[in-house]
Amino acid sequence: MYAQPLRYVDGLPRPPRCLVMGVLNVTPDSFSDGGRYLDHDRAVAHGVQLAGYGADLVDVGGESTRPGALRPTVDEELARVVPVVERLTAQGVQVSVDTMRAVVAEAAVAAGAVLVNDVSGGLADADMFATVARLDVPYVLMHWRAHSAEMVDHTHYDDVVEDVATELSTQLAAAQAAGIDRGRIALDPGIGFSKTADQNWQVLAGLDRLHALGLPLLVATSRKRFLGHLLADDAGELRPPLERDDATTATTVLAAAGGAWCVRAHDARSTADAVRVVTRWAVAEQEVVTRG
């Protein structure tokens, strides 16, 4: 059974708990599952499975953003993404599109996507903000400094949490100036993007300071390299991406309990279970307070 139909408040989907966004990479080179779902039939089957496991949105992306990845051409990205979005939508799956290109965002929305997830926060394509404003769809604006091939060279911060907040605020102002309704925007602190392992932990620990920006937060930690560092063996070998799901779920619980609007993950079932536990725990706490 799919997650419940999305309910929108002020332009953003807002179920009565933290939202779950399932990852569907239709790429040959993503860090965790590159090539596994490049075939459209396999991609659609996996997208349906993610929705069946409880993903509220299935996030379809045709460009790998792992460190060092090279960009596909526009035509390659369109060919990977649009048919999958179209087929999933036809089967009743709520789809978001993970893209830094305005033309891909527009084509995906035309194919049925209900949200644009832009990991560049509008910096990779000067047309993105105007396009999203015209499409009038929800938009996730992520903290970003450089494309994958260069992002490891852009990890200097005076105070990583304050700098991320300031840079997000700058892009948020630009998005609103371009006509995107503030009520349709969510922010993503960009875990794993132009940040060292330690800096990622500092950002997660500082989510309260990012909540102060006044917009919903999406937190995307799933299987990322900083978790591999944490779980490295005695020889220093990083835990492989497919063996980081338990750690991912732990971050999901903490993010959801800390008020995240959405968490993005490869393992939709454990993530959906985790956010439901967090929600029921919070309800029980409120019941105890009320009875007291």
User: In this predicted model, what pLDDT tens digit does every residue of 231-260 receive, in sequence order?
Assistant: 999 999 999 999 999 999 999 999 999 999
CB 34 within 8 A of CB 25: yes
pLDDT band at 291 (very low <50, low <70, confident <90, very high): confident
How much is the average pLDDT of 269-288? Answer: 94
Locate 171 and state its tokens: 């892009």
CB contact set of 18 (below 8 Å; sequence gap of 6+): 255, 256, 260, 261, 262, 263, 275, 278, 279
Q: Quick check: 66 pLDDT over 90?
A: no
Q: Quick check: 173 pLDDT over 60?
A: yes
Q: Rounded to whole angstroms, how far apart are CA atoms 195 and 126? A: 24
Q: What backbone phi and psi angles, to 5 degrees, belong to 2?
A: -75, 165
Active-site entry in 66, 87, 184, 264: 264
- Least confident range of 1-15, 38-52, 115-129: 1-15
Other C-beta atoms closer than 10 Å to the C-beta of 201 total 17
Q: Where are the beta strands (DSSP E) in the chain?
A: 8-9, 12-13, 19-25, 57-61, 95-98, 115-118, 139-142, 185-188, 218-219, 262-265
CB contact set of 169 (below 8 Å; sequence gap of 6+): 213
Give the pLDDT score at 55: 97
Q: Rounded to whole angstroms, how far apart are CA atoms 14 and 113? A: 17
How much is the average pLDDT of 8-24? Answer: 90
Q: Quick check: 126 pLDDT over 50?
A: yes
How much is the average pLDDT of 169-186? Answer: 97
Give the pLDDT score at 32: 66
| Helix, strand and coil in the chain, % to nearest 5 | 45, 15, 40
Give the pLDDT score at 1: 44
Other C-beta atoms closer than 10 Å to the C-beta of 96 total 29
Give the pLDDT score at 4: 63
Give the pLDDT score at 65: 83
Q: Would residue 71 show up in a list of annotated catalytic residues for this protein?
A: no
Give the pLDDT score at 120: 97
Which amino acid makes up residue 253?
A: V
How much is the average pLDDT of 182-193? Answer: 97
How much is the average pLDDT of 174-192? Answer: 97
Q: Would residue 145 show up in a list of annotated catalytic residues for this protein?
A: no
Q: Quick check: 132 pLDDT over 90?
A: yes
How much is the average pLDDT of 78-99? Answer: 98
Give the pLDDT score at 30: 66
* Helices and strands (H and E) in the chain: how many: 10, 10
Q: Quick check: 271 pLDDT over 90?
A: yes
Give the pLDDT score at 52: 97
How much is the average pLDDT of 180-204? Answer: 97
CB 146 within 8 A of CB 100: no
How much is the average pLDDT of 22-45? Answer: 86
More confident residue, 30 or 202: 202
pTM score, two decimals?
Answer: 0.94
Q: Quick check: 110 pLDDT over 80?
A: yes
Q: Which of 12, 22, 1 is nearest to 248 (CA)?
A: 22
Average confidence score pLDDT of the chain: 94
Active-site entry in 80, 184, 224, 244: 224
